Structure formats: structure tokens, C-alpha cells
Amino acid sequence: MGPCRNFSIIAHIDHGKSTLADRSLTGTISKKPSGSNQQVLDKLKVERERGITVKAQTASMVYALKSQKYLLNLIDTPGHVDFSWEVSRSLAACQGALLLVDATQGVQAQSISVYHIAKERGLMVIPVLNKIDMPASQPARVILQLESMFGVDPVDVLQISAKTGQGVDAVLRAVIERIPPPSASAENPLKALLFDSHYDRYRGVISLVSIHDGVIRKGDKIASCHTRKKYEVQEVGVMYPEELPTASLRPGQVGYIACNMKESSEAHVGDTLYRVGAQVDPMPGFRPAKPMVYAGIFPVDTNDFIKLEESVKRLTLTDRSVSVQRESSSALGQGCRLGFLGTLHMDVFRQRLEDEYDANIIVTAPTVPYKVVYKDRTVIVSNPTEFPDLSDSSSGVKEVQEPVVKATIIVPEDHLGEMMELCFAHRAEDLDHRYLDAGATKSARIILTCTIPLSEIVTNFFDKLKSKSSGYASFDYEDAGYRRSDLSKMVFLLNGKPVDALALIVHRSGQQEVGRTWVKKLHKVIPRQLFEVPIQAAIGKQIIARETLKAMRADVTAGLYGGHYERKMKHLENQKESKRRMKRVGSVDLPQEAFFNILSTKAK
Ligand SMILES: Nc1nc2c(ncn2[C@@H]2O[C@H](COP(=O)(O)OP(=O)(O)OP(=O)(O)O)[C@@H](O)[C@H]2O)c(=O)[nH]1
């Protein structure tokens, strides 16, 4: 195998990464006729359905330039803000990146954030304008944006259509000519960075590695710097784009290895693998992913907990950014408390659990991690049930802080007013804005920045942003620490008894509205009982909102008589079935189904 290049494609969502990745692969590997774009790299069902890339994939291709064959390793990266951890992880194995910008849309919020991540990692960035086949494309204008935002020299910008294939060849040539080869040496002792892994039922854990120094071959005895465990390599190969076994992986190459690693927890992302007996210093690993949003996941049928926990464990192996803890709720039974990078990440995880593991689950409302400061210690609370009652003077709490983010919104000038209103309505501070297109005469775009509580954007901020800007606004955010805040725990009472799984943490400004909306929702989904049930929202001892659920008639079969025997039996049967899954909150019977309905309407 000849020299190699390791690169990645970085872009705002929908700017065409997967199309370009597929185009380069199908162009170089199987020479598929144009038009049969099979989206080779987007493998997960949820990715196909939602048209987004969630998990970075790796694929290799061979490209010949001036009679020299090059091995090009492409590491695909996700486009959504929730997955920026995956982006930085993929970039660790690269020396360069293609910054792909849609020529009809121009620079967007995530173009900026991914550009900075690549630059921080010292990568060579090649600017590429995509979709120039579209009549609405404005290459000259977007080149000016690249120049003013990133100081790009206009002559370095490539112009392509990933869809028709125009210019794609020039991109691959630029990868070879502009991106430096990995600085690795075959003479040095083996050092391989483990940057991803997945579980294979037959072969155990398969790890994706980037070889920094040395060579790795089948039969080699290797060890992990992290666990010091030893393994024998059973197979090595490249992703072509499916696994293709090779004799060895050489310095600078990216590929997979199968060794006798049995447990998913042994494959530690960021670990350095070395040859048994050699002395090597571990490479700097990755900063662990920081969960921004937490939610409880419970099986609809409480008997399924063990199965659910096992599925969660398997799935977290392919998605290391999810944190997992056990949780138990008096209303929902045993479950897991999971930490995610954002709400899209949470939705995707939930959908994968349902699709790939056939799980039937209830997900509680998303919560961000709050800081509760006591006189002598600070506690992070990511579960509303653990949040103290601040109206109780003996709680000893000095103050409460909530996580805030620095948000960047890019929007056409005509929508600036609505965007500012939206930000203020979500408790934004330090609002600032400036022009993105220097000197543009019409439909200029603005970059708006502000700090905003994370809890405000984990609900439906993004949907509102899109609808208020007619789809034109793009949005990204980064962690900006904690801010003191006026928060309290809201609990919901059924017949005077609190339902733990429904507790929320709310800001004073939203208490009334949240309380009223929720009580109404509960009223809609809770089945009538044999007696009247008050449904209340409370903060401490204060009741914020109330609805009353009227009593129902005692016998569900009372209205059925005589010849309707079958119908009657069926009714009784149904009643028995839902009883099995009934939860009792105080004196109120609640089917799991009601929780499912409440919580699935809640996020909207
Ligand atoms: N006309 C035209 N359409 C394109 C081109 N490249 C991509 N598209 C279309 O743009 C849409 C988004 O492309 P994707 O490749 O899925 O975008 P992506 O950046 O991978 O998206 P994420 O993985 O979700 O971040 C798809 O409908 C593509 O068919 C192009 O060069 N020309």
C-alpha cells in the first residue's frame, strides 16, 4: 500500500457531507453508474430516516495520482450540534479536513463551530463550495463570507457538485496535495489510538484504530495502556467501506482490529494500544463527553428491566457519549438515568433502542444538570426528585445555579427582530449582533450571540427558531458555565400524593404557565377513578394550578348486557391486562400507558 492521507469532511447539517463521501467512494471503489447514490456511509436506520449523520464512520479508498497510488482514509463526522464530541473525536485521527459549505446557503452556525474545532486540532482545512449545480447558488458571495469569517484565500476555494460529481476529482487531488501525510514511522514501537468501537456478536469487540507509529499484524500480542490487559490480534483490516481484512495496518493508517476483547467496557475510547513488552507513553486521550441533558428511561412492562439494561449497555458501546446510571422510581419502577449531549441525541438514542432492540420504553422529561450550593459543599442534581425544597428554610441551600450556553444564531436581517424576541422570551442575556456579509446590499445576514440557560434550549427552542425565521436561521451553542438562578422544584399531586416521575425544575418566570399546562395534560390522560381526584401542581406547600378528575361509574361492564357475552368477556380481559401494568400512586390507579402519554406529549 502506498502513502496515505487521513481526512474528514466537516460541515453544517445538510450541506452535503454524506453525498460527497459517497460520491468519492463510489467513484473510486465500485465505479457505480452516476445516480445510484446509495449513501454508503449513513448506516443507521435512524440516520436514513432523519437524513442526519449521527455516528462518525470511517472508510478507505485508493486514488491514483501521477502513477502513484494513495490510500485515502475518510472519516465522516456528524453535522448536528449535539454531536460535536463525535466531531472532535473523528478529527483526532486526521491531518486535514474539507470544510464543505452549501453555495446556496452560505456559512452557517455549525460551519463556524466545526471550522474552529478543526483549527484547534491543527488541521489543514480545505474550503469547498458544494451544490454549485443549483441555480440558487451564489459562489462569489459565499467565497467572500469565507474570506471575512476565516481569512480564507479565494484561490484556495474549490467549487463542486457532490450530486453530479463535478469537481469531486479535484477535491481528492487537493486532499493529496494540500494535506500532509501522517508523521508516523514504521521503525518506532507500535502506538495505536483507539478512537471508536462496536460489538460484533461473533467476534466480540471490534475497535477502530489510527496507527501513529509501528505496524500491527494478525497474531501480534498487544496491550492497552488504560487497563494493561493483554490481547492477541485476530484480524486487522480497513473499512472499504465495509470491513476488508489486510495483512497489516501501517503507520498513519486507519482501520479496524479484532482481538479477543470480550467486554465492551474494555475498549476505552482514547486509549493507546502497544506491543506487549515495549515501553510507550500513552497518547493524550479525549476529554470525556459531558452530558448536557438527562432523562430517565423505564420499561413499559416493569418485568423487562433486565432486558432494557442489557440493551442500553450494548447501545452505549456504539455511542460512548451516553452516561448511564440505575434509577428507581416509585411510580415507574426500575430504570436507567441516562445523560446525553443534547435532545436530538436523546431522541436518536431512544429511537435506536426501539428500532434495534425492540424496547418498549417510557422516557421522562429532559433535565439539565443543576448546581445546588450548600454552606460546605456543592452538589450536581440531574434528577428533579433529588432537588431540595427551597421553601423549606432548614434545607441549608445557599443558592442554586443552572448551566448556560453561548448561543450563535445566523439569520437574515429581516428576521432579526423576531429572533431577539425569542431569545428574550427564553431568558437570554448579553445579546449582541453584527453583519456576516460585509457590504452585502440585499438580504444581508446577521450573527447574533447571547448567553441563554441550557434548560431553555433543550425543549422546543430549535423548532421555534426555525418556524419564526421561516427555516432560515441556523443555530449552534457551546458551554458557558453556570449562572445563579431562581429555580424551584414543581411536583404534581394526585389526590394529594406526589408522583415522583413527573417532578420538574422550573424558573420563577415560567411557574404559572408550566403548572397550568401540565395539570391540563394530566387531566386529559389520566383515566377516571372510582372517586373524584384532584390534580395539582405544587411548589413547596404552595399550589400553583389545579384540575379535578370526575369519578366514573363502578362497573365497566354495567352498560353491557345479555347477548353481548363476548364483548363483556373481552372487556374484562382488557381490564385484567391493564391492571397488570397498573401503578398505584396513593389511592389512584395509573396504567403505565398514562405515563407514556403524558411524557410523550410533554416534550412538544
Ligand atoms: N443539487 C445538489 N444537491 C445536493 C448536493 N450535495 C448534496 N445534495 C443534497 O443535499 C441534501 C443533504 O445532503 P447530505 O449529503 O445528506 O448532507 P449531510 O451534510 O451529510 O447531512 P448530515 O449528515 O445530516 O449532516 C441531500 O438531499 C442531497 O441530495 C449537490 O451538489 N447538489
Assign 560 a pLDDT band (cuts: 50, 70, 90): very low
* 82 marked among binding-site residues: no
Question: 81 or 473: which carries more pLDDT confidence?
Answer: 473
Q: For ligand 1, pick from 14, 52, 161, 164 the residue to mutate: most ligand atoms within 8 Å of CB.
A: 14
* 17 marked among binding-site residues: yes
Query: Is residue 383 within 6 Å of ligand 1 at its C-beta?
Result: no
Query: Is residue 15 within 6 Å of ligand 1 at its C-beta?
Result: yes
Ligand 1 mean position, distance from CA 84 (Å):
19
> Are the C-beta atoms of 532 and 481 separated by less than 8 Å?
no
Atom number in ligand 1 closest to CA 100 = 19
Give the range among 109-123, 197-211, 263-277, 554-568 with minimum mean pLDDT.
554-568
Report residue 509 as a C-alpha cell. 418566570
In sequence order, which ranges of 458-526 are alpha helices (DSSP H)? 461-468, 511-525
Residue type, 23: R
Q: What is the CA radius of gyration of the chain?
A: 27
Number of other CB atoms surrounding residue 79 within 10 Å:
27
CA nearest to 25, candidates 62, 57, 53: 62
Report the C-alpha gap between 274 and 224 in whole angstroms.
Answer: 7
Written in H, E and C, the secondary structure of 279-339 is CCCCCCCCCCCCCCEEEEEEECCHHHHHHHHHHHHHHHHHCCCCEEEEEEECCCEEEEEEE
| pLDDT score, position 33 | 37
Residues 6 or more apart whose CB falls under 8 angstroms from that of 8 comprise 74, 75, 76, 77, 90, 91, 94, 96, 97, 98, 118, 123
What residue owns the CA closest to ligand 1's atom 24? 52
| pLDDT score, position 38 | 47
Phi and psi at 111, nearest 5°, equal -60, -40
> Grid coordinates 412538544 are at which residue?
604
Q: For ligand 1, pick from 19, 23, 105, 163 the residue to mutate: most ligand atoms within 8 Å of CB.
A: 19
* 211 marked among binding-site residues: no
| pLDDT score, position 37 | 40
> ipTM of the predicted structure?
0.97
* 133 marked among binding-site residues: yes
pLDDT above 70 covers a percentage of the chain that reads 83
Query: Is residue 51 within 6 Å of ligand 1 at its C-beta?
Result: yes
**Terminal C-alpha separation, the chain:** 53
Per DSSP, 154 falls in state G
Question: 485 or 438: which carries more pLDDT confidence?
Answer: 485
Number of other CB atoms surrounding residue 305 within 10 Å:
17
> Are the C-beta atoms of 507 and 427 separated by less than 8 Å?
yes
Mean pLDDT across 540-544: 92
Give the range among 281-285, 299-303, 465-469 with minimum mean pLDDT.
281-285
Report residue 27 as a C-alpha cell. 467513484
Atom number in ligand 1 closest to CA 37 = 29
Residues 6 or more apart whose CB falls under 8 angstroms from that of 27 comprise 165, 168, 169
* Per-residue pLDDT tens over the stretch 114-155: 898 888 888 999 999 999 999 999 999 999 999 988 999 999
Ligand 1 mean position, distance from CA 289 (Å):
28
Assign 420 a pLDDT band (cuts: 50, 70, 90): very high
Query: Is residue 171 within 6 Å of ligand 1 at its C-beta?
Result: no
**Strand pairing of 204-213 and 191-200?**
antiparallel
> Are the C-beta atoms of 76 and 17 separated by less than 8 Å?
yes
The counts of H helices and E strands in the chain are 14, 32
Assign 604 a pLDDT band (cuts: 50, 70, 90): very low
Assign 575 a pLDDT band (cuts: 50, 70, 90): low
Give the range among 222-226, 378-382, 556-560 with minimum mean pLDDT.
556-560
Query: Is residue 81 within 6 Å of ligand 1 at its C-beta?
Result: no
Instruction: Tell me the longest C-alpha to C-alpha distance in the chain.
Output: 90
Q: Average per-residue pLDDT in the chain?
A: 83
Atom number in ligand 1 closest to CA 21 = 15
Number of other CB atoms surrounding residue 598 within 10 Å:
23
Give the range among 109-113, 137-141, 376-380, 585-589 with minimum mean pLDDT.
585-589
Burial environment of residue 413 by CB neighbours within 10 A (0 to 12, 13 to 18, 19 or more): middle
Half-sphere exposure of 351 (CA within 13 A, CB side): 14
> Grid coordinates 466480540 are at which residue?
204
Written in H, E and C, the secondary structure of 24-60 is HHHHHCCCCCCCCCCCCCCCCHHHHHHCCCCCCCEEE
Report the C-alpha gap between 418 and 133 in whole angstroms.
Answer: 33
Query: Is residue 24 within 6 Å of ligand 1 at its C-beta?
Result: no
* Per-residue pLDDT tens over the stretch 344-394: 788 888 888 988 888 888 888 889 999 999 989 999 998 999 999 888 888
Query: Is residue 44 within 6 Å of ligand 1 at its C-beta?
Result: no
Ligand 1 mean position, distance from CA 418 (Å):
29
Q: For ligand 1, pick from 9, 18, 159 the residue to mutate: most ligand atoms within 8 Å of CB.
A: 18
CA nearest to 141, candidates 512, 360, 439: 439
Question: 44 or 517: which carries more pLDDT confidence?
Answer: 517
CA nearest to 27, candidates 3, 63, 73: 63
Give me the DSSP letters along 97-129.
EEEEEETTT-S-HHHHHHHHHHHHTT-EEEEEE
Residues 6 or more apart whose CB falls under 8 angstroms from that of 278 comprise 189, 190
Atom number in ligand 1 closest to CA 79 = 25
Atom number in ligand 1 closest to CA 51 = 24
| pLDDT score, position 524 | 87
Ligand 1 mean position, distance from CA 476 (Å):
19
Question: 83 or 108: which carries more pLDDT confidence?
Answer: 108
Query: Is residue 17 within 6 Å of ligand 1 at its C-beta?
Result: yes
Tell me the angle at which helices 84-91 and 109-120 cross, rounded to the nearest 10 degrees.
40
Query: Is residue 403 within 6 Å of ligand 1 at its C-beta?
Result: no
* 79 marked among binding-site residues: yes
Ligand 1 mean position, distance from CA 14 (Å):
5
Report residue 162 as a C-alpha cell. 457532490
What residue owns the CA closest to ligand 1's atom 7? 16
Ligand 1 mean position, distance from CA 18 (Å):
7
Does residue 229 have a pLDDT over 50? yes
Of 43-52, 260-269, 305-314, highest mean pLDDT:
305-314
Map residue 156 onto helix, strand or coil: helix
What residue owns the CA closest to ligand 1's atom 22? 52
Report the C-alpha gap between 138 and 333 in whole angstroms.
Answer: 56
Report the C-alpha gap between 284 and 276 in whole angstroms.
Answer: 20
* 16 marked among binding-site residues: yes
Question: 62 or 97: which carries more pLDDT confidence?
Answer: 97
Report residue 197 as a C-alpha cell. 468501537
Query: Is residue 50 within 6 Å of ligand 1 at its C-beta?
Result: no
Half-sphere exposure of 555 (CA within 13 A, CB side): 6
* 415 marked among binding-site residues: no
Report residue 159 as a C-alpha cell. 467549487
Half-sphere exposure of 522 (CA within 13 A, CB side): 29
Ligand 1 mean position, distance from CA 111 (Å):
15
Residues 6 or more apart whose CB falls under 8 angstroms from that of 426 comprise 452, 453, 456, 457, 461
Query: Is residue 130 within 6 Å of ligand 1 at its C-beta?
Result: yes
> Are the C-beta atoms of 423 and 452 separated by less than 8 Å?
yes
Beta strands in 486-592 (DSSP E): 487-494, 497-498, 504-507, 533-539, 542-549, 582-585, 588-591
> Are the C-beta atoms of 348 and 54 separated by less than 8 Å?
yes
> Grid coordinates 439494561 are at which residue?
309
